Amino acid sequence: MVTEVEAARSLVFTAAARYDQGVGEPGRFSSMAKLFASDVTMKVTTDAVQIMGGYGYMVEYGVERFMRDAKVFQIFEGANQLHQMGVARSYLGV
């Protein structure tokens, strides 16, 4: 889980650096970063809930809140499916 989070963080930093430097297509890299980071967030929080078993659903531990918030990240700023199509179009030149 830590490896996936670090990979997502690296992609976000790369997208931000490319945007700041005005290199390449910052929109494509920001879409890839949003898509990957939000999917990783959902996967990691789902895994955390499963690891904790029944405690993962209890409000006192807060993991269930992270999982609900992670789902919102996949929807805000455009659904992930829209970002997937945008990245694909960018690479295909369509």
Choose the catalytic residue: 4, 6, 64, 77: 77
Q: Is the per-residue pLDDT at 77 higher than 80?
A: no
- Sign for the CA dihedral angle at 52, 58, 62, 67 comes to positive
pTM of the model: 0.81
Q: What pLDDT sits at residue 38?
A: 92
Selection from 4, 26, 2, 1 nearest residue 14 by Cα: 26
Q: What pLDDT sits at residue 20?
A: 93
Annotated domain spans of the chain: 2-92
79 phi and psi angles, rounded to 5 deg: -65, 150
Q: Is 77 a catalytic residue?
A: yes
- Sign for the CA dihedral angle at 70, 7, 51, 81 comes to positive
Question: pLDDT tens, 23-76?
Answer: 878 788 888 999 999 999 999 999 999 999 888 878 888 898 899 899 888 888
Q: Determine contact, residues 36/11, Cβ cutoff 8 Å.
A: yes
Helices (H) and strands (E) in the chain, counts: 4, 0
Among the CATH numbers 3.10.450.750, 3.90.950.10, 1.20.140.10, 1.25.40.10, which is that of 2-92? 1.20.140.10
